[in-house]
Structure 1
Amino acid sequence: MSLAVLAVLAAAFGLTSCTQNNVTEDDMPERFFQENNLRGTFAMFNNGTGVFTVYNLKRYRDSTYLPASTFKIINSLIGLQTGKISSDSMVIPWDGVERSVAAWNQDLNMYQAFRASAVPYYQEVARRIGKDTMQFWLDSLKYGAGTDKKNYKITKIDTFWLDNSLKITPDQNLGVVKQLYFDELPFFKVYQQKVKHAMLFEDNANYKLAYKTGWAQTEQNHALGWIVGWIEENKHPYFFVLNVESDDPNYDMKEVRLKMLKDILKAYGFFEGRM
């Protein structure tokens, strides 16, 4: 299938999910933000009822933030679709540069790099995809169009998702994983399935939990954290996005994102296999 044909298909897929008519605002998650000295938003989409439950609706729908490593979802799909990632077992050799994350200091394949959120691997993937092709896909997906609906133009090919030039709303980030789950993004189904496989971190008799994290700094030098994905119970998916921010640039988001997510989901009744 040609890029031109895929562009037409992609035009039908807006990543924005939320409308005025299907939103229930809920302050229940606020206590988890307060406990961790963070501000932000949480939203969950019940696929069975079509209802969004949202804490801090304005931030969820109207504010934009750099996607950080949640962009690895899109980067992986474009890499696979264009053949720059031949399979999720394709290895990119370590460049020998010692980095602070030990898991990055080795040869990695796509599956490993995705789960370790290895920035160097995906920077190399972006360089191999190239600016023009990457721009084509961002335009087709309307990824990064933001609240003003204007298409984003790539600045530097291997940092644009990290340097605050590209921004998305939490609503758009949730829209990505919702369409990915149903193989509705304009990429071959087998590639969407490979990314979903990499996102699946917990799979047991009661539930499946799949997600991608992100962690970076905003233009204001604030720490920003993401976790976006879905929880499935009794073969019924619920899609979520958690977006958190601290004025402290050194705030460690690594553990708190997942803990907050699980605390919020537990408060809504998940993890018991009864949803």
Structure 2
Amino acid sequence: MNKLLVFICFISMNVFSKEVDLENIFSSSPAEGTIVIENLDGSTRYVYNETRANTQLAVASTFKIPNTLIAVDENLVSGKFSIFEWDGTEYDIKEWNQDLTLASAFRVSCVWCYQDIAKKVGAEKYKDYIKAMNYGTLPDKFDLQNFWLDGTLKLTAFEQINFLKRLYHHELPFSPKAFIVLKDIMLVENTENYSLFAKSGWARRVESPVGWYVGYIENNTGTWFFATNLAVEDSKQLYLRKQITMNALKSAGII
């Protein structure tokens, strides 16, 4: 059996393996990648490319998930309609060249908006938050406005899943309000069959460029968490992050 193509179900410490159709999904992609899909209680897990899934990579804009929680509890934003005022700087991404709300900044992954948050939070508080969340590690000195983009802060796909589960269970050191605001802005799709909560990310100016798509699905069978990352170096390939994730979720019968 291809070791990259595995469905693992842990029940009463017994391990069962069954092939799922992930190989075709990834073999047709121009970018190497991995995905981890796991249900709420951890009894069912799908993994493609376990070696890469255990490799720490720059968290990129998936850090906007915990950073939003931090911003709420530091009283830097109050809700989805909190405004970031654009200073007129022209960015390559046209959606950034305007005033943005917290919700729209999260959706278009506005770097300058969250860099504004970072300046106000400060390095020492970030080190405390990162430690308290068990969300990777930060060195004593780091670039305050780029540490999530420049490869300083890294996670594996498995660690992303672990964090998302603790987020879902509200087992992180944040207020109920912070969790409510974050869930509201993380909602990407809400259909009759499922609700998708997710965040993308792309770190390109690092030794190992990576594109992420992480989050969870709520459907009538329960909650499923996912973490996908791809070796994306070209913006033209960014669509693959969500496309591959959704195809994998369909293959697993989750959506």
Instruction: Give the TM-score range, shorter chain.
Output: 0.7 to 0.9
Matched with 1:134 is 126
Distance 1:42 1:104 in 2: 29
8 Å contact kept, 2:20–2:251: no
The separation in 1 between residues aligned to 2:14 and 2:92, in whole angstroms, is: 43
Which residue is 1:269 aligned to? 253
Residue identity opposite 1:232 in structure 2 = E
Equivalent residues, number: 243
Amino acid at match of 1:175: N
Cα distance in 2 for residues equivalent to 1:203 and 1:22: 35
Contact 2:194 2:219 survives alignment (8 Å): yes
Instruction: Name the CA distance, whole Å, in 2 between partners of 1:55 and 1:36.
Output: 13
Match of 2:23 among 9, 30, 45: 30
Conserved 8 A contact 2:157-2:229: yes
Spell out the pairing of 1:65-144 with structure 2 (5 A cutoff). Answer: 65-144=57-136
Partner residue of 2:203 out of 204, 207, 216: 216
CA distance in 2, matches of 1:171, 1:260: 17
Q: CA deviation at 1:210?
A: 1.0
Residue identity in the other structure for 2:225: F
TM-score by length of 2: 0.88
Say yes or no: does 1:187 pair with 2:187.
no
Coordinate RMSD, CA, aligned: 2.1
Which of the numbers 181, 184, 202 marks the counterpart of 2:189? 202
Q: Classify 1:49/1:172 alpha carbon distance in 2 versus 1 (closer, same or farther; 3 Å).
A: closer
- Corresponding residue of 2:6: none
Match of 1:40 among 14, 22, 33: 33
CA deviation vs aligned residue, 1:98-134 (integer Å, no higher than 9, x gap): 1111111111121111111111100000111111111
Higher strand share: 2
User: Displacement, 1:49?
Assistant: 5.5
1:235-259 deviation per Cα after TM superposition (whole angstroms, max 9, x unaligned):
610001101114xx32524311111
Q: Is the 8 A contact 1:23 1:52 kept in 2?
A: no
Asked if 2 retains the 8 angstrom alpha-carbon contact of 1:94 and 1:106, the reply is yes
Is there any run of 5+ residues in structure 1 with no aligned partner, and where? 1-18, 146-150
Kindly provide the CA deviation profile for residues 194-252 of structure 1, in whole angstroms up to 9, marking residues without a partner as x: 111111111121111110000122633x5411000011111610001101114xx3252
- 8 A Cα contact 2:135 2:163, kept in partner: no
Match of 1:50 among 43, 53, 60: 43
Asked if 1:231 is matched to 2:217, the reply is yes
Q: In structure 2, list runs of 5 or more residues that go unmatched.
A: 1-9
CA contact (8 A) 1:200 1:210 kept: yes
Q: Residues 73 and 195 of structure 1 are in contact (CA less than 8 Å); yes or no, is this contact kept in structure 2?
A: yes
Match in the other structure for 2:4: none
**Aligned to 2:218, what secondary structure does the other structure show?**
strand
Residues 79 and 34 (structure 1), Cα distance of their counterparts in 2 relative to 1, 3 Å cut: same
**Does the residue aligned with 1:28 lie in a helix, a strand or coil?**
coil
For 2:180 and 2:69, how far apart are their aligned partners in 1? 10
- Residue 43 of structure 2 aligns with an amino acid whose one-letter code is G
